[in-house]
Amino acid sequence: MSRTFQEQASLFLQEAVSRARKPLKPASVHGFESYLRKWVNPQLGVLPLSEVNNKTVKVLVAKMLQAQLSAKSIDNVVGLIKLVVSSDLDENGEPRHIRKWNSAFLDMPVVRNQHRPKLTPDVVEKLAKCPKLGMLYTLLASTGLRIGEALGLETRHVQGRTLVIQQSCWYGVIQTPKTFNAFRNIDLAPAVADMLQKFIGGRRFGLVFGNGAGNPHSQTNLLRRSLHPLLQEAGCDKMGFHALRRFRVTWLRKQRCSEDLLRYWLGHASRTVTDDYVMLKEDLDFRLEVAEKVGVGFSLPA
């Protein structure tokens, strides 16, 4: 008898976490579990996997549209359904349930340009002057670090003008970075490196941005208690820490920074085979020179 969708979804998540090839990170699992709990299992969970098809998924899509979910959220939910259905394999490793998914029949909304609020230099400067977290905001805006990477940064990872990214923090738990390409070195402008060294002071171990007890900060608390109030005070829309990463990308593009180096600093994958032949990431002197030349795009606090 065919497994139910809910049973297969549970197996899929278990295997996706434990597999050797590209295991799912806790953040991805958390998101998938949320989709399953709120949308998918109530509609499709008890159905045999063989009955999860365009016709049955179309009903779920209609409900999500009625609830005014964004096009991207609906796309993510349906993408998870496709992964679960295709994860049921026979003894030869072949999918038991072949589907030809039809976006038009499903009435899937088109994912267009998503709302990506932007930060201006004057707002970034205000964030950088925050008494307790100014150094964190400065580092995010001047490096393009992901917030989890910044919160997982230890003093041993600060090596002169270079940050060695080897771990990340998610919900207070230290883990490996998001992807293989996220293992990288990020080079700082001299003034930012000086600020960071003064911020660290005599500390020789522990987190750079730990809380009072030396433990990782909660991203949720930082958003609710610091970033969102500061943005409201500055008259800006509510946005997340990723806006500071977009600020850095925008600035590097304006300075005509090499795309190879930009992707390396941000932890993005190469786009072509040719990119893998470029050895800019091996040339520390060149990277430091560029980091100094391009600057940060906003005035640092005194």
The predicted-structure confidence for 157-207, as pLDDT tens digits, reads as follows 999 999 999 999 988 889 888 788 899 999 999 999 999 999 999 999 999
Residue 280, pLDDT score: 72
Phi first, then psi: give them for residue 41, nearest 5 degrees: -60, -40
Domains of the chain from N-terminus onward: 5-106 (1.10.150), 121-294 (1.10.443.10)
Residue 273, pLDDT score: 57
Phi first, then psi: give them for residue 65, nearest 5 degrees: -65, -40
Q: What average pLDDT is seen over the chain?
A: 92
φ/ψ bin of 214: left (φ > 0), alpha (ψ from -120 to 50), beta (otherwise): left
Residue 187, pLDDT score: 97
For residue 12, give the nearest of 76, 77, 84 by alpha carbon.
84
Tell me the whole-structure pTM to 2 decimals: 0.80
C-beta separation of 40 from 60 below 8 A: yes
Residues of the chain with pLDDT under 70: 1, 114-115, 271-279
Residue 116, pLDDT score: 72
Cα separation, 63 vs 47, in Å, equals: 17
What is the DSSP secondary structure assignment for residue 281, as one 8-state letter? G
Residue 2, pLDDT score: 75
Cα separation, 88 vs 98, in Å, equals: 10
* 268-293: pLDDT as tens digits: 887 665 566 566 778 899 999 999 99
What is the DSSP secondary structure assignment for residue 280, as one 8-state letter? G
The CA distances from residue 127 to 134, 162, 173, 241, in Å, are 6, 23, 26, 11
Cα separation, 208 vs 204, in Å, equals: 10
Residue 1, pLDDT score: 57
Residue 269, pLDDT score: 80
Count of helix runs (H) and strand runs (E) in the chain: 15, 5
Neighbours of 230 (CB within 10 A): 17
